[in-house]
Amino acid sequence: MEQVLYDSGALIAISRSRDSVKIDDHQRRLARGDHIMVPAPVAAQVVRDPQRQARLMFTLRSCDIVPFERSHAGPVGRLLARSGTSDVVDGFVAVKAAEMGATVVTSDPGDIRHLLSALGLRLPVLKP
């Protein structure tokens, strides 16, 4: 069982895929027993019209939504300062991945790798 964290790019790729490849990848992760997480701010970035986003909503139902809590503000802010970046959502993705030892599925692996590097970590970062 693997810990997997989706960012907005992963969810958008699943939602917009014209074929079933992306959703099949998600289903394979579930079948393996992977624990798939989506940070709440990531979900907020991609949910626009749930009635028209059937694939996205189907995917989110099978994921744990991870809340951004008060205790995350300091670690995320310090990471952004250390890395010279400003995207709070990406910072939260990196902090949660570090906490969980999770693989990150992202359409922007360079940004996430940069943040993980600032934490002194090398975790798997995959494109959707």
Q: What is the pLDDT of residue 32?
A: 97
Enter the pTM of the model: 0.94
CATH number of 3-126: 3.40.50.1010
Q: What is the pLDDT of residue 20?
A: 83
Q: What is the mean pLDDT of the chain?
A: 95
> Rg of the chain over CA atoms, in angstroms?
14
Task: Say if CB 52 and CB 84 are below 8 A apart.
Answer: no
Task: Say if CB 94 and CB 41 are below 8 A apart.
Answer: no
Q: What is the pLDDT of residue 6?
A: 98
Given pLDDT bands bounded at 50, 70 and 90, which one contains residue 118? very high
**Taking residues 85-111, what's their average pLDDT?**
97
Helix (H, G, I), strand (E, B) or coil at 66: strand
Close Cβ partners of 45 (under 8 Å, ≥ 6 residues apart): 8, 89
Q: What is the pLDDT of residue 101?
A: 97
Given pLDDT bands bounded at 50, 70 and 90, which one contains residue 102? very high
Would the pLDDT of 42 be above 80? yes
Given pLDDT bands bounded at 50, 70 and 90, which one contains residue 61? very high
